[in-house]
Amino acid sequence: MDTADCIVIGAGALGLASANALARSGRRVIVLEQHNAIGTEISARSSEVIHAGIYYPTNSLKARACVEGKSRLYRFCEQYAVAHKRIGKLIVATSEDQLPQLHALKVQGDANNAGGLQILTAKDVRKLEPDLECCAAIYSPTTGIFDSHALLLALQGALEDQGGQLALSTRVTNLSFTGHDYLLTMEDGYQLKTPRLVVAAGLHTNKLLSGIDEATLRAIPPLYMAKGSYFTLSGKAPFSHLIYPLPERGGLGIHLTLDLAGHARFGPDVEWVNAIDYSIDAKRGEKFYRNIRRYWPGLPSGSLHADYAGIRPKLVPKGAPAGDFYIYQKGQASNLQLLAFFGIESPGLTSALYLGELAALAMGKYLSRE
């Protein structure tokens, strides 16, 4: 039976970022990924936006991780030549009765140190985006876009440069605790053990941890899932900034994002689901047309096409206020053995490098003693 100093389950952005930070301590780190490629679920099914940190309650883990993660992500993209662009974002109020919410959101973003937010009048907005219809907007200059697939490859390369290992097509089917080590059993019966385990398995974390022991089971929060579909625009969009409506329950509203080639896509919407299913119902496009035309009345009929869908792990059910990120830790401060991430939805990609450093710091309290 093989042994590793640290094992990370999940090779999305968060798992790879955690493994990178852990490998810098000089320990042997193995990342296990059930699929045959890295980052194929939450990390690959996003808007590819570098978020500023506007929406989240001040002093929450989400707010701190987003703002700190944004700075780290921009630096990482520069260092590893990951394509990105600080493009800026407009959050729009499309009616007068939304203005109080818009101004409150600006106050929230300023409290979070989201970076240089400005309130623009409708006239100011038209100078930037002549085709955009709104009463006022928040301008966020530090919001950006990036190539998430290039980020994942750069994280993998950085991990392997530090001696870390990645095992693809390796699905953990059982976890148990022996009293000192965690024992991982794979689908083919192969077993690994480790004294330190990080679980960054996204939608699968709850199920993986549910069989370890009663204490861990009691600490596992319930999993709720919100599916978001994306539609692409045929032809060129007349916008040079990201365009967001005001946030709605369960998400940030059907917004317009641009990729690095200038192509536009819209989404995600919010559909609460009970199972993982990435298929898209083309009929959902009817809602997209209605919502988008509130801020872009000129959206041509027949121009939207179903593209892809993602599923966000939620810690709260439909209708409840948004939950914070949750990091579960087991063991004493000087002897941490298990760390697991829950509810890492948006802004999870922006926050990944910061959250990975938190994981390494928590484990490092133990590693530094040896």
pLDDT, one tens digit per residue, over 158-185 is: 999 999 999 999 999 999 988 889 999 9
Measured CA to CA, the distance from residue 239 to residue 256 in angstroms comes to: 9
Residue that has been written with the tokens 């729009």 in this structure: 92
Measured CA to CA, the distance from residue 111 to residue 66 in angstroms comes to: 13
Percentage of the chain lying above the pLDDT 90 cut: 85
Prediction pTM value = 0.95
User: In this structure, are residues 308 and 278 in contact, taking their beta carbons and an 8 Å threshold?
Assistant: yes
Measured CA to CA, the distance from residue 228 to residue 45 in angstroms comes to: 9
**Per-residue pLDDT tens for 220-275?**
999 999 999 999 999 999 999 999 999 876 677 899 999 999 999 999 999 999 99
